[in-house]
Amino acid sequence: MQACRKDTSDDRFHRGGTSRGPCFYEISGDDGRLYQWSRSFSPAETAGGYRIPLPSGRYRATLYAAETWMADCFPRRTEVRCEGAAVLTEYAPPGLGVADLRSFEVEVADGILDLEFLAEREPAVIAAIEISLAN
Protein backbone atom coordinates (compact mmCIF):
# COMPACT_ATOMS: atom_id res chain seq x y z
CA MET A 1 0.00 0.00 0.00
CA GLN A 2 1.34 3.42 -0.83
CA ALA A 3 1.39 6.06 1.85
CA CYS A 4 -1.06 8.86 1.15
CA ARG A 5 -0.03 12.48 1.43
CA LYS A 6 -2.17 14.58 3.69
CA ASP A 7 -2.49 18.31 3.73
CA THR A 8 -1.74 18.98 7.38
CA SER A 9 -4.14 21.93 7.31
CA ASP A 10 -6.85 19.25 7.58
CA ASP A 11 -5.66 18.73 11.16
CA ARG A 12 -7.22 21.83 12.69
CA PHE A 13 -8.47 22.89 16.10
CA HIS A 14 -5.85 20.84 17.97
CA ARG A 15 -4.24 21.94 21.22
CA GLY A 16 -0.74 20.58 21.40
CA GLY A 17 0.37 17.22 20.18
CA THR A 18 2.64 16.29 17.31
CA SER A 19 1.72 15.35 13.75
CA ARG A 20 2.98 11.85 12.85
CA GLY A 21 3.22 10.06 9.57
CA PRO A 22 3.12 8.72 7.07
CA CYS A 23 2.37 5.22 8.34
CA PHE A 24 3.50 2.39 6.10
CA TYR A 25 1.47 -0.41 7.74
CA GLU A 26 -1.53 -1.91 6.01
CA ILE A 27 -4.51 -1.02 8.23
CA SER A 28 -7.28 -3.62 8.41
CA GLY A 29 -10.92 -3.02 9.24
CA ASP A 30 -11.48 0.41 7.68
CA ASP A 31 -10.27 2.82 5.01
CA GLY A 32 -6.51 2.69 5.63
CA ARG A 33 -5.98 6.13 4.13
CA LEU A 34 -7.48 7.72 7.25
CA TYR A 35 -4.65 6.28 9.34
CA GLN A 36 -1.66 7.38 7.28
CA TRP A 37 -1.25 10.52 9.39
CA SER A 38 -2.16 10.99 13.02
CA ARG A 39 -1.66 13.33 15.96
CA SER A 40 0.00 12.10 19.14
CA PHE A 41 -0.22 13.57 22.63
CA SER A 42 2.60 12.71 25.04
CA PRO A 43 2.03 11.72 28.67
CA ALA A 44 3.70 15.05 29.65
CA GLU A 45 0.85 17.03 28.02
CA THR A 46 -1.90 17.68 30.54
CA ALA A 47 -4.38 19.37 28.22
CA GLY A 48 -3.67 17.96 24.76
CA GLY A 49 -6.67 17.53 22.52
CA TYR A 50 -9.05 19.45 20.32
CA ARG A 51 -11.39 22.44 20.66
CA ILE A 52 -13.81 22.16 17.76
CA PRO A 53 -16.21 25.08 17.15
CA LEU A 54 -19.80 23.84 16.68
CA PRO A 55 -23.25 25.32 17.13
CA SER A 56 -24.87 24.29 20.39
CA GLY A 57 -26.65 20.95 20.08
CA ARG A 58 -26.35 17.18 20.43
CA TYR A 59 -23.63 15.45 18.39
CA ARG A 60 -22.18 12.02 17.74
CA ALA A 61 -18.40 11.97 17.82
CA THR A 62 -16.47 9.07 16.31
CA LEU A 63 -12.78 8.64 17.03
CA TYR A 64 -10.61 6.73 14.54
CA ALA A 65 -7.53 5.09 16.01
CA ALA A 66 -5.06 2.36 15.07
CA GLU A 67 -1.77 1.23 16.49
CA THR A 68 0.67 2.13 13.73
CA TRP A 69 3.92 2.28 15.63
CA MET A 70 4.24 0.30 18.84
CA ALA A 71 3.66 -3.39 19.30
CA ASP A 72 2.41 -5.18 22.43
CA CYS A 73 5.71 -4.59 24.22
CA PHE A 74 4.76 -0.93 24.76
CA PRO A 75 0.95 -0.88 25.12
CA ARG A 76 -0.75 2.49 25.06
CA ARG A 77 -3.31 3.46 27.66
CA THR A 78 -5.35 6.61 27.08
CA GLU A 79 -8.21 8.36 28.80
CA VAL A 80 -10.43 10.35 26.47
CA ARG A 81 -12.55 13.15 27.90
CA CYS A 82 -15.32 14.92 26.05
CA GLU A 83 -16.72 18.13 27.52
CA GLY A 84 -14.83 17.25 30.72
CA ALA A 85 -16.37 13.79 31.19
CA ALA A 86 -14.46 10.55 30.62
CA VAL A 87 -15.84 8.69 27.59
CA LEU A 88 -12.99 6.15 27.33
CA THR A 89 -10.71 4.98 30.14
CA GLU A 90 -7.58 2.87 29.77
CA TYR A 91 -8.24 2.78 26.02
CA ALA A 92 -5.73 0.90 23.88
CA PRO A 93 -5.97 0.22 20.14
CA PRO A 94 -6.71 -3.50 19.55
CA GLY A 95 -3.42 -4.38 17.84
CA LEU A 96 -0.81 -3.35 15.34
CA GLY A 97 -2.43 -2.30 12.06
CA VAL A 98 -6.03 -2.81 13.23
CA ALA A 99 -8.49 0.06 12.81
CA ASP A 100 -10.73 0.90 15.75
CA LEU A 101 -13.69 3.29 15.85
CA ARG A 102 -15.27 4.51 19.09
CA SER A 103 -18.44 6.63 19.09
CA PHE A 104 -20.32 8.51 21.74
CA GLU A 105 -22.94 11.24 21.96
CA VAL A 106 -22.28 14.61 23.53
CA GLU A 107 -24.19 17.81 24.23
CA VAL A 108 -22.38 21.00 23.20
CA ALA A 109 -23.75 23.99 25.10
CA ASP A 110 -21.01 26.62 24.72
CA GLY A 111 -20.25 26.44 20.99
CA ILE A 112 -17.03 24.43 21.47
CA LEU A 113 -16.61 20.65 21.53
CA ASP A 114 -13.71 19.93 23.90
CA LEU A 115 -11.85 16.63 23.50
CA GLU A 116 -8.88 15.76 25.70
CA PHE A 117 -6.47 12.86 25.21
CA LEU A 118 -4.65 11.95 28.42
CA ALA A 119 -1.87 9.45 27.81
CA GLU A 120 -1.42 7.11 30.75
CA ARG A 121 1.61 5.44 29.18
CA GLU A 122 3.08 6.04 25.76
CA PRO A 123 1.63 8.85 23.63
CA ALA A 124 -2.10 8.93 22.91
CA VAL A 125 -2.70 8.74 19.15
CA ILE A 126 -5.75 9.75 17.12
CA ALA A 127 -6.00 9.44 13.32
CA ALA A 128 -9.35 11.12 12.63
CA ILE A 129 -12.41 12.58 14.32
CA GLU A 130 -15.84 12.54 12.70
CA ILE A 131 -18.59 14.77 14.08
CA SER A 132 -22.25 14.48 13.03
CA LEU A 133 -25.58 15.58 14.41
CA ALA A 134 -27.07 13.02 16.78
CA ASN A 135 -30.45 11.53 15.88
pLDDT higher than 50, residue 4? no
pLDDT at 1: 23
Distance, C-alpha 44 to centroid of its chain:
17
CA 57/CA 75 separation, integer angstroms: 36
Q: Residue 107 has what pLDDT?
A: 97
For residue 86, pLDDT over 90 is answered with: yes
pLDDT by residue (tens digit) across 29-78? Answer: 666 677 778 898 998 887 799 999 999 999 999 999 888 776 556 678 89
- CATH class of the domain comprising 12-133: mainly beta
Write b or e for each residue in 25-60: b if 16 or more Cβ atoms lie within 10 A of its Cβ, otherwise e: bebeebebebbbbbbbbebebeebbbebeeeeeebe
5 pLDDT band, cuts 50/70/90, is very low
Residues 62 and 126 sit within 8 Å (Cβ to Cβ): no
